Structure 1
Amino acid sequence: MGLLLGLLSALFFGSADFVAAKSSKQIGVYATLLYMQIVGVVLLTIFLVVTGKWQFITSYSSIAKASLWMFVDLAGILMLYRGLQVGKASVVAPIVSSFSVVTVILAISFGERQSWITFVGIVLTIVGVMGVTLSGPDTDDPLQQRVKMAKGVVWAILASLCLGIAFFGLRYPVEEIGGLATVWIGRLQGSVLLAFIALGVKRKTVIPKKKELNYLILVGVLDTLAILSYNIGLIYEMTSIVITAASLFAVFTLVWGILINNERLAMKQWAGIVLTFTGIAIVSIG
């Protein structure tokens, strides 16, 4: 069940990223991220009110843990977007996709133990995902490539560390107050923080049109379902297993690109896809 929920999380994350790319081109990355958080908190608030699952309000330590790890996650996303803005996507994406390595290392360091065959599957999956995100150079100017690479690498490394640490730490609040409450706290916190940052830098507020609003609602729904699937998966399986499955999100983003945008993959990306699914198959058997 944990592995399946991790795969479901990857599907939702990958789909959300694909739709977010379209939204970002229309209203910008920052506005997309802000509205995505708002959509998530509205949906989760409605669900929590209807189901009456507000017990977490009385657990201040659990609220603090959820707030901390979801803040680290938000910081990682902002660093990722910054890296993509100033650097080369073909350099930034593979580095950031390695965040699952950080999560697995932390999980093993804090006591998780896997069989050797499962560990081999985890390694193959992570290597495969990084291979999938590799793309060819988009410019023939070597100097320009080096400059963009240097600008994006630092942000990519920071993003990878933050995301890896966040996805490891989320297990703690999830075990105490559940996945729904943890994500609700994160989305509420993200909405407030991003709104204050926008006011602080006097960023112009973008009012989405109908088509843009549809994209934003879809991104918010998909992203919320993705983090929920991951968090609930942690209840059934060890962190290293769930994060390995969830790391396939990049594969699903590329699949949507192939199906909808008629994009073509390089041979090394196809090799990465084969490695990725071979790794997942080994993990499921192990």
Structure 2
Amino acid sequence: MNGILFGLLSAFSFGTADFFAGKASKNTGVFSTLFYMQVVGFVFLTSAVTWYGQWHNLNSLSHVAAASLWMALDLIGILFLYQGLVSGKSSVVAPIASSFSVFTVILAFVFGERLSIVKLAAIVLTLVGIVLTTLVLSDRGKSRSGQKLESGAVWAIFAALFLGTAFFGLRYPHEALGGLVTVWIGRLQATILLPVVYACFKKRIVLPDKKNAGLIIIVGILDAIALVCYNLGLGLEDTSIVITATSLFAVVTLFWGVFLGGEKPSWNQWVGIGCTSIGIFLISLL
């Protein structure tokens, strides 16, 4: 399996997890959902690392520290994203935050990755399509924003910066630790740190009911699988290619909303779907 396919698997898992996380968050709350999905991911990855016998990968303290750093940036980015969704409108926050892959691609170029002009154009086309897919426009072409627009947008920008940096840096610990152990470290520290962070900001962790508990288990497992697939893809392909494929998670979430949630995409979202499809097709051919 090549890096693009791992990136697409990551996108499917991220997109599906986001869809079900949205449903669980309506009753359990976004911050409680985030905490429980980290716990589920930690338990799932502990079992996986044990099954594959990869605990010996933790011998390198320097690489463990690197994994902890990049996964911490990922967690901070998610917290910024959730705060943006709470304080602003998702129609504004989502497209800004989903542009994190642009920062990852920029960092990849700055640190030495080189692509042909055609492949670079395909990446740009895909990223533009993703932004169009996640941006909800009215018939007059104006974003359906609302009050607290600026606050939500600021949080989303910070989320994009932290997530983009984290997804770039994950390549380095992955080479020594492997995808499973790298993500396991992140889930371990998130399980420990989130209650402390929530206590500082007076956020309550609410117990989910049976229905939402099932959704959170699905979300936690899929989210962990998505990060593992992304890391595996980094071992086979350039960061700029894998992150572009992974960025399709926004399109996956949209499709779930259409088929299971009865949502009706706007004209620009259909254009975005077309751009991303063409872009990924060109990348896979090249």
Instruction: Look up the match of 2:64.
Output: 63
Deviation of 1:147 after TM superposition, in Å, equals 4.0
CA–CA distance in structure 2, aligned partners of residues 127 and 205 of structure 1: 37
Deviation of 1:203 after TM superposition, in Å, equals 3.6
For structure 1, the 5+ residue unaligned runs are: none
1:227-238 equivalence runs, <5 A: 227-238=227-238
TM-score for both structures, normalised by structure 1 = 0.95
SS in 1 for 2:148: helix
CA–CA distance in structure 1, aligned partners of residues 98 and 92 of structure 2: 11
Query: 1:131 is aligned with what amino acid?
Result: L
Instruction: Look up the match of 2:41.
Output: 40
Task: Please give the per-residue CA displacement for 1:180-228, whole angstroms capped at 9, x wherever unaligned.
Answer: 0000000000110002223344543322221111011000011011001
Instruction: Look up the match of 2:108.
Output: 107
CA–CA distance in structure 2, aligned partners of residues 117 and 55 of structure 1: 42
Instruction: Look up the match of 1:260.
Output: 260
CA–CA distance in structure 2, aligned partners of residues 229 and 54 of structure 1: 19
SS in 1 for 2:226: helix
CA–CA distance in structure 2, aligned partners of residues 228 and 219 of structure 1: 14
CA–CA distance in structure 2, aligned partners of residues 110 and 136 of structure 1: 36
- Does the CA contact (< 8 Å) of 1:36 and 1:216 recur in 2? yes
CA–CA distance in structure 2, aligned partners of residues 14 and 151 of structure 1: 25
Task: Please give the per-residue CA displacement for 1:262-282, whole angstroms capped at 9, x wherever unaligned.
Answer: 110111110010001111011
CA–CA distance in structure 2, aligned partners of residues 97 and 198 of structure 1: 24
TM-score for both structures, normalised by structure 2 = 0.95
Moved more, 206-215 or 177-186: 206-215
CA–CA distance in structure 2, aligned partners of residues 184 and 92 of structure 1: 28
Instruction: State whether structure 2 residue 277 is matched by structure 1 residue 270.
Output: no
CA–CA distance in structure 2, aligned partners of residues 181 and 41 of structure 1: 10
- Does the CA contact (< 8 Å) of 1:56 and 1:62 recur in 2? no
CA–CA distance in structure 2, aligned partners of residues 201 and 86 of structure 1: 15
Deviation of 1:50 after TM superposition, in Å, equals 2.5
Instruction: Look up the match of 1:130.
Output: 131
Alpha-carbon RMSD: 1.6
Identity of aligned residues (%): 54
- Does the CA contact (< 8 Å) of 1:83 and 1:151 recur in 2? yes
Instruction: Look up the match of 1:29.
Output: 30
CA–CA distance in structure 1, aligned partners of residues 279 and 256 of structure 2: 21
Deviation of 1:76 after TM superposition, in Å, equals 0.4
The aligned length equals 282
- Does the CA contact (< 8 Å) of 2:78 and 2:159 recur in 1? yes
SS in 2 for 1:236: coil
Instruction: Look up the match of 1:205.
Output: 205
Query: 1:174 is aligned with what amino acid?
Result: H
Instruction: Look up the match of 1:155.
Output: 155
Instruction: State whether structure 2 residue 77 is matched by structure 1 residue 76.
Output: yes
SS in 1 for 2:8: helix
Task: Please give the per-residue CA displacement for 1:115-171, whole angstroms capped at 9, x wherever unaligned.
Answer: 11111110000000000001036xxxx9x9464221111111100000000000000
CA–CA distance in structure 2, aligned partners of residues 151 and 199 of structure 1: 22
Deviation of 1:97 after TM superposition, in Å, equals 1.1
For structure 2, the 5+ residue unaligned runs are: none
